[in-house]
Amino acid sequence: MEHQTRFTVLNLELPPAPKSLGVYTPFLIDGNHIYISGHLPINSDGTLQRGKIGKDMDQEEGKLAARQVGLTIISTLIANLGSLNRIKRVIKVFGMVNATTDFEKQPYIINGCSELFVEIFGREQGIGVRSAFGVGSLPENVPVEIEAIFELAD
Amino acid sequence: MEHQTRFTVLNLELPPAPKSLGVYTPFLIDGNHIYISGHLPINSDGTLQRGKIGKDMDQEEGKLAARQVGLTIISTLIANLGSLNRIKRVIKVFGMVNATTDFEKQPYIINGCSELFVEIFGREQGIGVRSAFGVGSLPENVPVEIEAIFELAD
Amino acid sequence: MEHQTRFTVLNLELPPAPKSLGVYTPFLIDGNHIYISGHLPINSDGTLQRGKIGKDMDQEEGKLAARQVGLTIISTLIANLGSLNRIKRVIKVFGMVNATTDFEKQPYIINGCSELFVEIFGREQGIGVRSAFGVGSLPENVPVEIEAIFELAD
């Protein structure tokens, strides 16, 4: 099934594509690669999810926040490309988790985004390399920030 | 206006290009990409700026530190390329902010570097994707570390 | 000397190539680049090294942990490529150090990995760009996580 068709069937509610919070662009094409800036978890009403995992929210809420970051990235992709069919595959997901210093389940959190990408792009095209780690702090005290690289379809 | 001309007109004072603090190179060309190692804020006299934002320095000082990292990156680019005209555009800025765990304004800090790149490379070529986040600690307790990717001109 | 021959002569003990801890692949080829996911320090018996540098372990132990991450990356490369001769050079090492917030010697820690790469790939091909910084926390409380990019041989 094509990516855009699979996305439509999933009937997901997308947040608005984010505006830049500084002097950068959320999306950039370079050859056959799409670079995605660090994205935050934006709700459908445009507000940001906030809180530190292990203090203000638990693991399940953190994983849902990572899924919301994934939806925000999808929103940026559609706003800039028109269709997800222009994407060949996920190359890389880079997941920054705002957690207490004793937190150990960063991969579980970032799976919230990765599992969304598998739902949309399938197991063959939806799984790339990944790093997941705990930061000291994040912009606006959001629980998760994710940057990504995708490959453009020919 | 060409990048090198615009840079010259700005009359900026550059720090010395950094030596490697370990087993790495500050600068690497790979195809039409320039990879820049994580750079620290080096002063014109070769000393490092030190301190944690939110504890030892405030937001404005942090933003100036990020600008100083940008100047240090420019110094590395000129030392290795001869001229900034060999750069086509900024692809990516990756900004690591050494701040207290309650800090929320990482994008404001990293704008110090991004605004410098716009002054030199212009809005068309000077703005790429970006991530900004808070680290737990940085080498020599500097306030900001930034790595970057540029595209080489043909 | 060829990379695989140099590696054989060094007579290093490799840990098992890691399984994915989430929805990602440890290794991905994209054009002439090899992307390596964030790797953790796996011992030869398959267990993980654990602890925060500056609290549970000192600098020398941290550097050895980074070397062990390097060995784990080599294990992934051999498992996926068959031979290290298929690698042209190191492009980038990205080192995340799980340390106390006053820690300042991240480059010293990550040298544990970089020096291993020089032993195997030589000074010409074994040294790339690098960032080293301190995180807030890491998966399973390991002391070091490293991601990397290599260039494939023609």
The string of pLDDT tens digits covering residues B27-48 is 999 999 999 999 999 999 999 9
DSSP result, B78-92: HHHHS-GGGEEEEEE
Residues in C whose CB is inside 8 Å of some CB of A read 21-28, 30, 35-38, 52, 94, 96, 101, 135-141, 145, 147
pTM of the model: 0.97
Residue of chain C whose Cα is closest to the Cα of B94: C131
Write the ipTM: 0.96
Please give the sequence-ordered ranges of beta strands (E in DSSP) within A31-73, or none if there are none.
33-39
Helix ranges, chain C (H) = 3-10, 59-81, 106-126
pLDDT tens-place values along chain A, 154 residues long: 799 999 999 999 999 999 876 799 999 999 999 999 999 999 999 999 999 999 999 999 999 999 999 999 999 999 999 999 999 999 999 999 999 999 999 999 999 999 999 999 999 999 999 999 999 999 999 999 999 999 999 8
Domains, chain A = 26-152 (3.30.1330.40)
State residue B128 phi and psi, 5-degree precision. -120, -165
Q: Which residues contact C81 (CB under 8 A, 6 or more apart)?
A: C34, C87
B35/C128 touch (CB, cutoff 8 Å), yes or no: yes
Separation CA A69–CA A59 (nearest Å):
15
Residue of chain C whose Cα is closest to the Cα of B141: C104
Tell me which chains share at least 3 CB pairs under 8 Å with chain A: B, C
Amino acid present at B85: N
Residues in C whose CB is inside 8 Å of some CB of B read 91-93, 97-108, 110-111, 114-115, 117-118, 127-137, 151
The string of pLDDT tens digits covering residues B90-133 is 999 999 999 999 999 999 999 999 999 999 999 999 999 999 99
Task: Report how far apart the first and last C-alpha atoms of chain A are (Å, whole number).
Answer: 17
B35/C92 touch (CB, cutoff 8 Å), yes or no: yes
B140/C104 touch (CB, cutoff 8 Å), yes or no: yes
Q: Give the SS3 label for residue A154.
A: coil
- Does residue C121 come out as left (phi exceeding 0), alpha (psi in the -120 to 50 range) or beta? alpha
Q: Give the SS3 label for residue A138.
A: coil
A35, A52, A136: residue with CB nearest B129: A35
Residue of chain C whose Cα is closest to the Cα of B50: C104
